[in-house]
Amino acid sequence: MKILANDGISLGGKILLEKEGFEVLTTFVAQDQLANYINENKVEVLLVRSATKVRQDLIDATQLKIIGRGGVGMDNIDVEYAESKGILVINTPAASSASVAEMVMAHVYSLFRNLHASNRTMPLEGETKFKELKKAYGKAFELRGKTLGVVGFGRIGREVAKNAIGAGMKVIAYDRTYKEADVPVEFFDGQCIVFHFDIKSFEEVLAQSDILTLHIPAQDKYIIDTAEIEKMKDGAMIINTARGGVINEEALLEALDSGKLAGAGLDVFEDEPKPSVRLLMNEKLSLSPHLAGSTEEAQERIGIELAEQIAKFYKGEEVL
């Protein structure tokens, strides 16, 4: 039985699958050649991350039994259509939560301490303008006591809340599904403290947050546009590690240029893999190329979780 991990798979996941008797192919196949490759090699399972698209035409052109998405979002897969054809679609919603949450905090720290800017200029001017740079970037802030607003309080949003609580921040949250939530924060010595959250309205979170972080799936329209930015505090910041297209990037740039917003951290973009040059050049932005879930630990968990689900399917066991 052949499995194509077109966007890669962890060594642990590959080993587990091979122990179960599967042949795992890890050659990256270009999108326009994917159907032919799957058919010629009699591939039954296709594993992807965000790069490979699994649309209706690919589904119709192949005889796949399983489509697996390493990670949470499924917007690069026509899930309903695949399932209507009897194909099992699986993902790993919890495996990368901690990694994404840490990336959020990395962007927040970077913005609050001006690391996003100093990391750009120190290699160029650090030797000749050290004192000037020290003065320019010396106006910085602590996170302790600031309010983090979490939009989307599922697994990842709650992981972000844990990190922010550890930094001494106040956390508020909005979610369309939940009215309240209990978030356990576990410590290295076995202690655990449970924090209770009463879910606030979207408008309350916009108005009260010093930092707004987004953890929602792909949307049909912008969640953050000019009107929403106007409701935010002057000098607030936005972090997006969710999906490109949930923020109107033009409105964001206008708010940064006017001073309405002090900064933003972006891991995802509307036009991936070619983000707007205006975004890339803006000094108020902390930027990363869609890396939030990409840690060695997360990739290992993703690979193993996918492997376990595939093995269960071929053994006739229920896949949750």
Neighbouring residues of 273: CB distance < 8 A, sequence distance ≥ 6:
289
* Six token digits for residue 202: 């979207």
Q: Are 153 and 175 in contact (CB under 8 A)?
A: yes
- Cα 246 to chain centroid distance, Å, stands at 12
Neighbouring residues of 104: CB distance < 8 A, sequence distance ≥ 6:
160, 163, 213, 239, 241, 265, 292
Report which residue type is found at 230: E
Beta strands in 13-55 (DSSP E): 23-25, 43-48
Residue 198 region by backbone torsions, left for phi larger than 0, else alpha for psi between -120 and 50, else beta: beta
Catalytic residues: 243, 272, 290
